[in-house]
Structure 1
């Protein structure tokens, strides 16, 4: 029997222990630092992967999407192998360390493959795919070697309060991936391999199913058939695990939508205008919006949104939050589908069989009037302007048009004469550029080769070429365009069309370019002659020709738009990124919290592996739908994903309604006088007045 004084001292000691700050394990810094570095490399590659496959390796949008999601699928599937290796053979620390070496080698291969003169084959296909395989293998080590779930080298008994804070820090590392950590191996508590719980769970389930099929004995639960081989604690934990895994079945569809930020949404951004003042926002740079929103919104939701909803008795449990997050993911794809419908109105329409396109470019210093066979009325083109006939139907593959030209010979510079008529040969499914210029004093009409490449670039970059009429400049001279960061040379080549011809189209960076012209000796001028701007998605011809106004050797430069630049601004992507980020916070972070609080301690790593598998299978769903090619319109595919997500969440809600949280089970057992130490003891964060799903 303690005295009153001793009881008071004991009470004060207990209060002091409660106030004592729970310290983080020192090894947490090591794991978070490793995660920063690994995520920096992974997401740095992931951000540009689809555009690299499409623009550099020349895969189609569908094939690039498939490769991207197959790679993502493998990155989230191989951690299962990593878990088995870590738990059975090497241990967590050595698994992380050894496979990180593979990661470094993979990035080295990618760097070397970017040097075409040294390794031309590596620079095309082999090197990049070798690196993708290495990253998949590295994910095998990092994700399961470094997870916090049930890792005795990281989280020790009695530190579950710190777990919530560690999860927030871990997710920040996962989202931002900008911190580089040192190698601090001595802070990590090395644990020897103790067997894989994954294999134990699988063998227990398989054995129970086999016994159930063969045995006629009735059991309370089908897993009880494994009692002859496995202990009751493991079977009890597996029962809880199976109940949670049932809720995991609909989860892959969320990841099917979410991971398209790096594929379909990136391609969508290539068809938009990224000009913001003097700065151009690139399509792959839009992927930074999601992690930026994550970093901003996590504290907002924890501090304001969830408490406010709790006051209204809404979304106080994890499963309703996950359901809401899934619905929001579908809404995000409805928004992206509507945006894609708007973008489709700005796309160039490909010429069909029996159809041609003709652009007349008036390079003369006066207005002209054209009469073209089959075209009514008369075509009037002001000086240094163009007239585009986007579609002309022809009966044969090759057709000759007769063109007559009228102009004011008294008000057209040095130009005095023209032919009675001109003949131009056009071909089906071809966009012709007809340059109207002059040799000395006589007008000539040249059908430029190669023809106009009027379709927008797949990369979203502007396309540009030079047309020229420079008979006083030697061949192989060049006109240089110098931008803020890039320089491009367009050469005057010796072609069948002589000094009046055109170059091939070249993809250039958007922005303003200064024009440096050649001298009569072929030497480039040191001072810029003029400048002009090109914008994302635009296709341009710029005409460099001798002056037709005076007899000097002066030149003129004019720019003609073949295809208008992108008109829908890239900032219109922000709403769908905002919605998908809110969706991720409510679905992904809440889902991880649900998995940790509802599972037994021995099953936490298994649920972590199952969670990663949902991401893997989600990417597989994208691969299947992309390969099926249900629709030609990308907007329709976005709407399909939205509808499938809504249906998926209805299924999730049906499964979640009957789910009982561990605190409810603990309360029910406490009422009957049989509280279990395994269920609910670590989960005291829920109050009695909380609503069910």
Structure 2
């Protein structure tokens, strides 16, 4: 009896010791491991840090080579609206006299001929921005419609599984590849066919964006007629390549065009209006998608492509008018300068 009791006690104590040992072993912290993509997070944080501080250091380092232009301390956009408001109110007062043919001429005496001429240039540029906004309607779908399309596709490429929101990283990569490629090869080839002016390049860039959405529609038709997640995500590459080419020819060229064509006093104003096209493009996209015009997503992609082709046709006509008006203004300015030189030589007073 006593031996059996001792055995039970020993077994109980042994099991308690074992449980204590196991608890102790589990309490020992294991080797710390990090997620596989932690280096991507670190890299992203470094890029953000450099974007904020590094670029400011570069700006300060190159400050000595900048060209400083004295401008009015008053906000230029406010000054523009004041000039237009003054012209409207003055015209109403002098309604019967009709001393000026054009509206802004009524503000020349108050604000000067230079500001009035600059506003006229900006007005012509803003008219061009209206059809340019629809390009943003297409390009901004990379992070929405195209990502939703990738979500229905197979991202397995053998050595790696691409996530639906990772495929859009192709766009900045392709832009970096296309910039030197276009400068060295594509643009010299296009110049042989007479395509040298920025607005011509922008028109072709918009056409490439429309072609990208035709690729997108064909992939969508393929997905609809195939088993779920059977179409490889790599079939989205052609649409990204085509849109990347459009980004170089339309967006990059348009950004430079906006700065070069803007008057010296309105460089920043033109850039702000250029970025406003992003907002207008997204607004157009929201309005169209809220209409639910098509049950099939592929048909909606085709609609965007067709609208883009029509939009670029209108943009091409407006671009020709803009270039013609600019040439007329240049000729008029040259004639005016020549008249001033001749009058100065002859002793006439201005």
Both proteins in one fold, TM over 0.5: yes
Once the 2 structures are TM-superposed, how far is the Cα of residue 234 of structure 1 from its aligned partner?
0.9
Q: C-alpha separation between the residues in 2 aligned to 1:638 and 1:671? A: 48
Matched with 2:77 is 198
Q: State the Cα deviation string for residues 338-375 of structure 1 (Å, max 9, x = none).
A: 211111123xxxxxxxxxxxxxxxxxxxxxxxxxxxxx
1:647 matches 2:310: yes
1:209 matches 2:209: no
Q: C-alpha separation between the residues in 2 aligned to 1:212 and 1:332? A: 49
Distance 1:666 1:225, change over 3 A: closer
Residue number among 187, 206, 227 corresponding to 2:60 in the alignment:
187
Q: State the Cα deviation string for residues 648-685 of structure 1 (Å, max 9, x = none).
A: 11221221121237983576247636269xxxxxxxxx
Secondary structure, aligned partner of 1:290: helix
Distance 1:202 1:568, change over 3 A: same
Once the 2 structures are TM-superposed, how far is the Cα of residue 228 of structure 1 from its aligned partner?
4.1
Matched with 1:339 is 219
1:252 matches 2:125: no
RCO higher in 1 or 2 (8 Å CA, sep ≥ 6)?
2
Distance 1:588 1:675, change over 3 A: farther
Q: State the Cα deviation string for residues 557-595 of structure 1 (Å, max 9, x = none).
A: xxxxxxx55111111101110111111111111111211
Q: Contact 1:201–1:238 at 8 Å: present in 2 too?
A: yes
Gaps of 5+ in 1: 1-39, 45-106, 108-175, 347-563, 677-693
Equivalenced residues, count = 288
Q: C-alpha separation between the residues in 2 aligned to 1:297 and 1:178? A: 26
- The structure carrying a bigger strand percent of its residues is 1
Matched with 1:633 is 296
Matched with 1:459 is none
Q: Contact 2:223–2:231 at 8 Å: present in 1 too?
A: yes
1:658 matches 2:324: no
Residue number among 289, 297, 302 corresponding to 2:178 in the alignment:
297
Once the 2 structures are TM-superposed, how far is the Cα of residue 219 of structure 1 from its aligned partner?
2.0
Secondary structure, aligned partner of 1:219: coil
Q: Contact 2:202–2:249 at 8 Å: present in 1 too?
A: yes
Matched with 1:609 is 272
Superposition map of 1:525-540 within 5 A: none
Secondary structure, aligned partner of 1:276: coil
Matched with 2:239 is 576
Distance 1:253 1:194, change over 3 A: same
Q: Contact 2:152–2:228 at 8 Å: present in 1 too?
A: no
Q: C-alpha separation between the residues in 1 aligned to 2:274 and 2:333? A: 31
Q: State the Cα deviation string for residues 273-308 of structure 1 (Å, max 9, x = none).
A: 110113101111111101001000101111111111
Distance 1:227 1:310, change over 3 A: same
Q: C-alpha separation between the residues in 1 aligned to 2:91 and 2:263? A: 25
Once the 2 structures are TM-superposed, how far is the Cα of residue 195 of structure 1 from its aligned partner?
2.3
Secondary structure, aligned partner of 1:278: coil
Q: Contact 1:272–1:569 at 8 Å: present in 2 too?
A: yes
1:236 matches 2:117: yes
Q: Contact 2:213–2:305 at 8 Å: present in 1 too?
A: yes
Once the 2 structures are TM-superposed, how far is the Cα of residue 631 of structure 1 from its aligned partner?
1.3
Q: C-alpha separation between the residues in 2 aligned to 1:666 and 1:222? A: 17
1:312 matches 2:193: yes
The TM-score, its normalising length taken from structure 1, stands at: 0.39
Q: C-alpha separation between the residues in 1 aligned to 2:88 and 2:259? A: 27
Distance 1:178 1:276, change over 3 A: farther
Distance 1:662 1:590, change over 3 A: farther
Q: Contact 2:137–2:282 at 8 Å: present in 1 too?
A: yes
Matched with 2:160 is 279
1:267 matches 2:140: no
Secondary structure, aligned partner of 1:229: helix
Q: Contact 1:328–1:583 at 8 Å: present in 2 too?
A: yes
Superposition map of 1:120-519 within 5 A: 179-180=50-51, 181-182=53-54, 184=57, 187=60, 194-213=73-92, 215-216=94-95, 217-313=98-194, 315-346=195-226
Superposition map of 1:540-619 within 5 A: 565-619=228-282
Q: Contact 2:135–2:308 at 8 Å: present in 1 too?
A: yes
Q: C-alpha separation between the residues in 2 aligned to 1:586 and 1:185? A: 27
Q: C-alpha separation between the residues in 1 aligned to 2:170 and 2:269? A: 32
1:622 matches 2:285: yes
Q: State the Cα deviation string for residues 510-531 of structure 1 (Å, max 9, x = none).
A: xxxxxxxxxxxxxxxxxxxxxx
Q: C-alpha separation between the residues in 1 aligned to 2:203 and 2:254? A: 10
- The structure carrying a bigger helix percent of its residues is 2
Q: Contact 1:333–1:639 at 8 Å: present in 2 too?
A: yes
Once the 2 structures are TM-superposed, how far is the Cα of residue 312 of structure 1 from its aligned partner?
2.6
Distance 1:572 1:210, change over 3 A: farther
Matched with 1:468 is none
Once the 2 structures are TM-superposed, how far is the Cα of residue 265 of structure 1 from its aligned partner?
0.3
Q: Contact 2:71–2:265 at 8 Å: present in 1 too?
A: no
Q: C-alpha separation between the residues in 2 aligned to 1:590 and 1:301? A: 11
Q: Contact 1:669–1:675 at 8 Å: present in 2 too?
A: no
Could you list the runs of 4 or more consecutive aligned residues of structure 1 that deviate by over 3 angstroms after TM superposition?
Answer: 176-186, 188-193, 209-215, 661-667, 669-673
RMSD of the TM alignment (CA)?
A: 3.1
